[in-house]
Amino acid sequence: MMMQFLRGLTAWSLVILGGVQVWRMFTEGTAHARRLHQIPCPGCQYFSGDYTLKCALHPSQAGTEDAIDCMDFWGRT
């Protein structure tokens, strides 16, 4: 009787821990996606979209999180 209780407790503990891990991955993933959606490069006049030279002003920062607060952002007209 005691072994069945311990097995059940172990199984439910694993289910709950798995659920917590899935929830944590979901919340961290959505937070990361929100951060990446703040990158202004695709709407910038200097962004070419070409993989060889993405941006004429900041080629190493273009399309990365470093470009979120880009002081040279110029929207397309």
Q: Are 69 and 63 in contact (CB under 8 A)?
A: no
pLDDT confidence of residue 27: 98
Query: How would residue 75 be classed by pLDDT, with cut points 50, 70 and 90?
Result: confident
Question: Which value, in Å, is the radius of gyration of the alpha carbons in the chain?
Answer: 23
State percent of the chain over pLDDT 70: 100
Confidence category of residue 3, pLDDT binned at 50, 70, 90: very high
Entry pTM? 0.66
Domain locations in the chain as residue ranges = 1-37, 39-77
How far apart (Å, rounded) are the C-alpha atoms in residues 4 and 10?
A: 10
Are the beta carbons of 45 and 74 closer than 8 angstroms? yes
